[in-house]
Amino acid sequence: MTSGVDLSQFYETFFDEADELLAEMEQLLLELDASSPDIEQLNAIFRAAHSIKGGAATFGCFNQLAETTHLLENLLDAIRRGEMALRPHMIDTFLETKDVLKGQLDAYRASEEPDSQAYERICAVLRQLALEERGQGAVPADAAPAPVQSAPSQPVAPAAQAASAVPAPAATPTGASAAQAGQGPLCVRIVRVKPKDAQSLLEELGNLGRVLRSEQGEDTLTAWVDSTCSAEDIEAVCCFIIDADQISITHEPLPAQPAAEATPATAAGDLDAFAQAAENFAAGAPQAAPAAPAQASAAAGADAARAAALQPAATRPGNAPARSRPAQSAADKESSSIRVGVEKVDQIINLVGELVITQAMLAQMASTLDPVLHDRLLNGMEQLERNARDLQEAVMSIRMMPMDYVFSRFPRMVRDIAAKMGKQIELQTYGRATELDKSLIERIIDPLTHLVRNSLDHGIETPEKRIAAGKDPVGQLILSAQHNGGNIVIEVSDDGAGLNRERILAKAAQQGIPVSENASDDEVWQLIFAPGFSTAEQVTDISGRGVGMDVVRRNIQDMGGHVQLFSRPGQGTTTRIILPLTLAILDGMSVRVGAETFILPLNHVTESLQPTMEQIHSVAGNERVIHVRGEYLPLVELHRVFSVEGAQTDPTQAIAVIMQAEERRFALLVDHLVGQHQVVVKNLEANYRKVPGISAATIMGDGSVALIVDVFALSRANREKWAQPDAILN
């Protein structure tokens, strides 16, 4: 990058990308099988660590992050090359390192210094791990040549650090390792490159393999690299510094080395440099940032190349058995997405909402025109309506995010809590690709976390108890998501002991909560959501304090959704969360009550009819139900709910709209059905105040304001209000 450019403008982009890479690294580590690790997973983990290290070192001010990822990268590189065996405790260490990296990243994002104690501790752990797995990692005193008094001060290439600590007694011709499986090493040619960028590129090439030789011209760089990485991988890494059209990679044999570079004196100096590099690695000496001075970087690359030449062919990491990699197309290398600020997306959504309002206004005006005289205008209005709907759907999809964003957070939690509690739990996820609006997906994380922790702590039993009950010792925890009409249904299921009805009733009686012994299971399960309610025999640091489930229900209701519980003793518990797909633009049915217009969400409307006197029945005093095809449905009169004057009070002269919410049906009595159309949701609470029974407002085509009915609130109020018929929502 040219001098004078303020790199701080790229910090936020780096932080976002590093967050994504850390999340990907954690997921891959959790999926990794220590007994037979997948080489593609190892390569992906290595690339994530390498990308973070490269970005941190480029900025030059995130030293702790760069150093930590550098040590992690070296270990991962040795494992993926077969130089080091992967063990289960290593995965735990790498996960702990990821946590430290996340803390460092958050500190840098907040313009603070990371925790130095955590940094020193994890670096010491990583260095000790390298020493243990490499046979104590130190260079034997009788095997290493005596170092020169003036030790080299230049940074050491990672490829040289990862090499064996015992140098070969004799040099092997460089060209002997130039070919693998009958073809030469990778020849990387880069044009229109600045000297500063050339040294950074050499450093990156050294991280990906062994630089056998490099030749640098005025604005060109040619390097021969012995690497197990594919040409696509090398190109992808180099494109962090240069453009794709500047680089070409082919398989070419290594040119003959000038005799002057193979003199005994030079070879002896190379041995000394390599010995010093091995000592630095064993001692855990801090490594210099990639952006070193040009002379030092060039010397480091040359030292790495010459050290590689001094190793026997049989001991070189590059000569490990080649692992197959799937071929990648050119399209895979191209970025398939761009990063756009949320505020810009919200601005587009707001503008589309205004367009929908304008289109509705024009449609209402055009409906009064003569279709014969204004045929072309009306056809244009129909086309505008179609285009507005397509544009709305396309724009709303921008805000949609897959549930994988949420589900990916839980494998680590399940793993850690299960190990802490001595339980064996297998996590399964379904519907990762199911999409939810970004405004909701951030808010659903906390409720799901409470539910998962409850299942892990109170739901799934210990292996001993499961075996005694005739179950598999490994418990099952299932997270799933799916679309259902205009809603998304998220479920947390376990195969544990289930809810204890007697214990819940006893706890309710102890806390003075009125409940009948003959209450249905659903009513008993709902007691769990009472504030401070808990049936846990003992409080743990995971759960059991009676705090959380009431917050879960309240948060879900604030999102316009609701929660359901299903449980079978000895078989497990399922918690179901139902949320609307979007809160920006919805399909609605406009109805009139007196002089007021209300909007009913169309996805809750099942049918409408004009009732007869034979269908209307009185119950519980002045409450009424309607009989529809063998089912008795509560009759909710909208004019009574909102105290609307001048409304139709005779049900036989009104319209009954059958609504469904929370798996319950009820009839909503209105005066007239106006029509179906898209409405733009406007937050009523932000512009006025919260109104019970109203979820939001919208602007109609004539400029008037219509209220959008909260169907879930009506359903809950109707279920709870039988003793207060005159104040359903109050």
Q: Which of 264, 254, 263 is nearest to 305 (CA)?
A: 254
Q: Which pLDDT belongs to residue 623?
A: 78
Q: Which pLDDT belongs to residue 539?
A: 54
Measured CA to CA, the distance from residue 661 to residue 432 in angstroms comes to: 25
Measured CA to CA, the distance from residue 267 to residue 247 in angstroms comes to: 32
Q: Which pLDDT belongs to residue 138?
A: 41
pLDDT tens, position by position, 276-331? 444 444 444 444 334 333 333 434 444 444 344 334 333 333 333 333 333 343 33
Measured CA to CA, the distance from residue 562 to residue 554 in angstroms comes to: 9
How is residue 139 written in tokens?
A: 């260079």
pLDDT tens, position by position, 370-381? 888 888 999 999
Contact 325, 230 (CB under 8 A): yes
Look over the chain and give the mean of its residue pLDDT values, rounded to a whole number.
76
Q: Which pLDDT belongs to residue 464?
A: 92
Measured CA to CA, the distance from residue 375 to residue 381 in angstroms comes to: 10
Q: Which pLDDT belongs to residue 258?
A: 54
Report the range of poorest mean pLDDT among 160-169, 506-515, 528-537, 561-570. 160-169
pLDDT exceeds cutoff 70 at 257: no
Residue with more model confidence, 433 or 315:
433
Report the range of poorest mean pLDDT among 180-189, 492-501, 699-708. 180-189
Which range has the top average pLDDT, 423-427, 436-440, 562-566, 675-679? 423-427
Q: Which of 479, 475, 520 is nearest to 496 (CA)?
A: 475
Q: Which pLDDT belongs to residue 543?
A: 54
pLDDT exceeds cutoff 90 at 657: yes
User: Cβ–Cβ contacts within 10 Å for residue 271, how many?
Assistant: 22
pLDDT tens, position by position, 503-542? 888 888 877 777 777 777 777 888 888 776 666 555 555 5
Q: Which pLDDT belongs to residue 721?
A: 58
Q: Which pLDDT belongs to residue 654?
A: 92
Percent residues over pLDDT 70 in the chain: 75
Say which DSSP state 404 is in.
H
Q: Which pLDDT belongs to residue 500?
A: 83
Q: Which pLDDT belongs to residue 218?
A: 81
Mean pLDDT for 579-607 is: 84
Helices (H), 549-666: 549-558, 638-641
The SS3 assignment for 622 reads coil
Q: Which pLDDT belongs to residue 275?
A: 40
**465-to-257, 367, 474, 492 alpha-carbon distances in Å:** 70, 70, 11, 22
Q: Which pLDDT belongs to residue 548?
A: 64
User: What type of residue sits at position 647?
Assistant: A
Measured CA to CA, the distance from residue 610 to residue 612 in angstroms comes to: 7
169, containing H or E segment = none
Q: Computed over its alpha carbons, how large is the radius of gyration of the chain?
A: 34
Mean pLDDT for 207-231 is: 84
Which residues are CB-contacts of 179 (< 8 A; sequence separation ≥ 6)?
185, 253
pLDDT tens, position by position, 477-505? 999 998 876 678 899 999 998 888 888 88
Torsion of CA 396, 399, 402, 405, to 10 degrees: -170
User: What type of residue sits at position 564?
Assistant: Q
Q: Starting at the earlier edge strand, list the strands of the sheet with 623-628.
A: 605-609, 655-661, 664-670, 631-637, 623-628, 616-619
How is residue 415 written in tokens?
A: 């793993």
Measured CA to CA, the distance from residue 545 to residue 541 in angstroms comes to: 9
Mean pLDDT for 352-361 is: 84
Q: Which pLDDT belongs to residue 135?
A: 59
Residue with more model confidence, 399 or 653:
653
Contact 75, 84 (CB under 8 A): yes
Q: Which of 722, 700, 696 is nearest to 709 (CA)?
A: 696
Q: Which pLDDT belongs to residue 122?
A: 92
Q: Which pLDDT belongs to residue 538?
A: 56
Q: Which pLDDT belongs to residue 232?
A: 76
Q: Roughly how many angstroms between the first and final C-alpha of the chain, as a whole number?
A: 64
Q: Which pLDDT belongs to residue 297?
A: 40
Mean pLDDT for 594-621 is: 87
pLDDT range class, residue 656, cuts 50, 70, 90: very high
Q: Which pLDDT belongs to residue 225?
A: 86
